[in-house]
Amino acid sequence: MNLVYIEWDDASTVDPETGWVDRETAPAAEPRIFKQAGFITEETADHIVLTCAYDDAQMAPRSRIPVGMIRRRVDLTDHVREES
């Protein structure tokens, strides 16, 4: 599996409370940029799926990230040597 580092813009809730927000004093909608490294388990034109660990039979929980939310991607595969 290829190893990558990505920075992605998460879809997030802007307001910390569930009630109404005054439009004039509402906080700015700041982006939530996450940084993540992982092994690609699936990649399509629409999304990338990463896991942090795997073996021959299993893998750790996965994250599905829409491609349109990815701001930066660095291929780290050449820095990892896979043992046979």
| Per-residue pLDDT band at 21 (split at 50, 70, 90) | confident
Nearest residue to 76 (alpha-carbon basis) of 34, 46, 39: 39
pLDDT at 83 over 70: no
By the 8 A CB rule, do 75 and 43 touch? Answer: no
**CATH class belonging to 3-11+30-79:** mainly beta
Greatest Cα pair distance, the chain, in angstroms, is 61
First-last CA distance in the chain: 13
Helix or strand run (H / E) with residue 40:
strand 32-43
Tokens of 72: 């930066």
Per the model's pLDDT, the better-predicted residue between 52 and 25 turns out to be 52
